[in-house]
């Protein structure tokens, strides 16, 4: 089944890339699409329905519209359109508009509060209907504008994630249009003959709003320098933490320790942070690259019949974790790592076929840890970032400091638990004793930059 037009093919290609790169949709997912009636949410629902019919995995869609309570809002047109297209939908009527008017002063912008209140409603409905993912229609321009809004007006260097786990760990929010531009979304909605419905908020379209001013600024810059928005989007996936001023990323005490270790390890030459010369050109090499190039989350995966962790204390060894058959996973985090690295590692651990299947013929190693009902024991292992190429003392310059490594290590654990696996863990930064029985033996090395 081919695409209806060149535009649909282009939108589908970019949406598919985002879904694959950020592992947004999995087999059996029930995806709840936040449908406001605007061009972006219609484009998202339409392209997901197109991809659903040709995807290698099975997933279902349900559109959910949160009616803020404005009298002129055409929720009936949304219902008729969904029915005509055969889309499952639900419309939730609320008093959010009236509530915002009561809370905010006349001169305050309602958009942020409205978004939070609507998000809360979506979370509640997702639980009620059993949705495993919540898809929102933010496109590439939204990511770039949010970056500049935070940079100019909030004193923060941040945008929004393509995939987000809610604070309570219950909901997963995805933004499949992250690589699709606003003009493409607008054109695709028009081509698909979907009715664009305004939210009827009095502030909607106010040209004095900060976001509208940012839109005009970007339009002017893009006109003078075509491709600048694409460059900004690329920058969001190419962060160099050591080149920023945030001491949480580069703690002075940690930098002093690393510098002292480097001096001690280089003898009389006293060369601090010695590295191979940076790659020229537009490659992906980033600051604080590890021994094999760009920073990555590394993991050693061992198939075990049992594994056991203790921590040595003054009087006796304390049991920390124990599993039977499953995987022992040592995880090492480097500087510059982020959510996409975590998702890659967690996805590999979840899906690797490393267990025997007597019914699989010649391809007897054909079952995942979930298939055999096994458990996963995850252990933080910063020494995986060690560089042994020079001298006799390993350099750990590329290893992420604890305050960066811990959240990413915990994200790996959270991703595995979200996938329904039984997960046990070691103790972060503790001196642990790891005992295991390697079954095979089977030991695999993986990293998030796919270098081995």
Examine residue 282 and state whether it is found in any structural domain, yes or no. Answer: no
Question: Which three-class secondary structure state does DSSP give residue 445?
Answer: strand
Q: Which two tokens stand for residue 438?
A: 């390697």
Q: For residue 446, how many other CB atoms are within 10 A of its CB?
A: 20
- Secondary structure percentages of the chain, helix, strand, coil, to 5: 40, 20, 40
Q: Is 119 part of any domain?
A: yes
Residue 211 structural domain: 6-235
Closest CA to 75 of 89, 56, 57, 58: 89
Residue 116 inside a domain? The answer is yes
Residue (of 69, 60, 61, 62) closest to 92 by Cα position: 69
Q: Are residues 20 and 135 both part of a single domain?
A: yes
Q: 231 pLDDT exceeds 60? A: yes
Count of CB atoms situated within 10 Å of the CB of 33: 27
Contact of 325 with 222, CB cutoff 8 Å = no
Q: Is residue 284 part of a domain?
A: no
**pLDDT greater at residue 95 or residue 18:** 18
Say if 100 falls within a structural domain: yes
CA distances, 241 to each of 152, 249, 398, 410 (Å)? 19, 6, 12, 20
Domain boundary, last residue among 235, 256, 272: 235
Of 235, 254, 282, the residue at which a domain comes to its end is: 235
In the chain, the percentage of residues whose pLDDT exceeds 70 is 83
**Residues marked as catalytic:** 381-383
- Tens digit of each residue's pLDDT (9 = 90 or more) over 21-30: 999 999 999 9
Pairing of strands 375-380, 326-332: parallel
User: 3-state class of 315 per DSSP?
Assistant: coil
Domain boundary among 235, 260, 287: 235
Residue 355: give its domain's CATH number. Answer: 3.50.80.10
Is 263 inside a domain boundary?
no
Mean pLDDT confidence for 269-274: 32
Position 349 confidence tier, pLDDT thresholds 50, 70, 90: very high
Pair 197, 310 in one domain: no
User: CB neighbours of 356 closer than 8 A, spacing ≥ 6?
Assistant: 364, 365, 366, 367
Domain membership flag for residue 423: yes
Structural contact between residues 96 and 112, judged by C-beta atoms closer than 8 angstroms: no
pTM of the predicted protein model: 0.59
Residue 106 lies in a domain: yes
Q: Cα 59–65–66 angle (5° rounding)?
A: 135
Domain identity same for 212 and 341: no
Cα–Cα distance measured from residue 34 to residue 90, given in angstroms and rounded to the nearest whole number? 10
- Using the predicted structure, report yes or no on whether residue 249 has a pLDDT greater than 90: no
Distance CA 231, CA 387 (A): 32
Q: Is the pLDDT of residue 189 over 80?
A: yes
Res. 443: pLDDT tops 90: yes
Which range among 188-197, 263-272, 276-285 shows the weakest confidence by mean pLDDT? Answer: 276-285
Is the model's pLDDT at 1 over the cut of 70? no
Instruction: Give me the number of domains the chain comprises.
Output: 2
Q: Is pLDDT of 178 > 50?
A: yes
């Amino acid at each position: 089944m081919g695409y209806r037009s060149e535009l649909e093919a282009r939108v589908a290609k970019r949406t598919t890339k985002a879904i694959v790169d950020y592992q947004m949709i999995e087999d059996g997912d029930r995806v709840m699409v936040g449908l406001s009636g605007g061009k972006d949410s219609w484009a998202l629902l339409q392209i997901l329905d197109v991809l659903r019919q040709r995807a290698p995995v099975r997933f279902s869609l349900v559109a959910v519209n949160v009616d803020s309570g404005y009298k002129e809002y055409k929720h009936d047109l949304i219902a008729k359109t969904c029915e005509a297209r055969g889309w499952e939908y639900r419309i939730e009527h609320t008093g959010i508009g009236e509530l915002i008017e009561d809370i905010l002063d006349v001169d305050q912008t309602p958009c942020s509060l409205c978004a939070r209140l609507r998000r809360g409603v979506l979370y509640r409905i997702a639980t009620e209907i059993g949705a495993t993912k919540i898809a929102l229609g933010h496109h590439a321009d939204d990511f770039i504008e949010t970056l500049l809004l935070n940079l100019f007006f909030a004193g923060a260097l941040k945008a929004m994630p393509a995939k987000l786990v809610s604070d309570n760990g219950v909901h997963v929010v995805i933004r499949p249009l992250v690589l699709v531009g606003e003009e493409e979304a607008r054109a695709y909605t028009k081509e698909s003959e979907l009715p664009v419905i305004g939210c009827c908020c009095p502030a909607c379209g106010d040209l004095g709003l900060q976001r509208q001013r940012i839109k005009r600024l970007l339009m002017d810059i893009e006109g003078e320098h075509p491709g600048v928005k694409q460059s900004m989007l690329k920058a969001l996936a190419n962060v160099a933490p050591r080149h920023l001023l945030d001491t949480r990323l580069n703690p002075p005490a940690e930098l002093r320790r690393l510098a002292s270790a480097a001096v001690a390890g280089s003898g009389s030459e006293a060369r601090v942070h010695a590295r191979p010369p940076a790659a020229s050109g537009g490659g992906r090499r980033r600051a604080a690259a590890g021994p094999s190039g760009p920073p990555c989350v590394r993991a050693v995966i061992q198939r075990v019949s049992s594994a056991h962790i203790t921590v040595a204390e003054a009087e006796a060894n304390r049991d920390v974790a124990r599993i039977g058959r499953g995987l022992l996973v040592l995880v090492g985090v480097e500087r510059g790592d982020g959510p996409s690295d975590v998702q890659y590692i967690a996805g590999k651990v979840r899906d690797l076929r490393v267990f025997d299947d007597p019914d699989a013929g010649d391809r007897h190693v054909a079952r995942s840890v979930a298939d055999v009902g096994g458990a996963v024991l995850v252990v933080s292992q910063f020494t995986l970032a060690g560089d042994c190429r020079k001298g006799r003392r390993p350099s750990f310059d590329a290893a992420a400091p604890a305050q960066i490594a811990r959240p990413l290590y915990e994200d790996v654990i959270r991703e595995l638990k979200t996938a329904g696996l039984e997960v046990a863990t070691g103790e972060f930064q503790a001196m642990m004793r790891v005992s295991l029985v390697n079954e095979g033996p089977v030991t695999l090395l993986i990293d998030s930059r796919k270098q081995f």
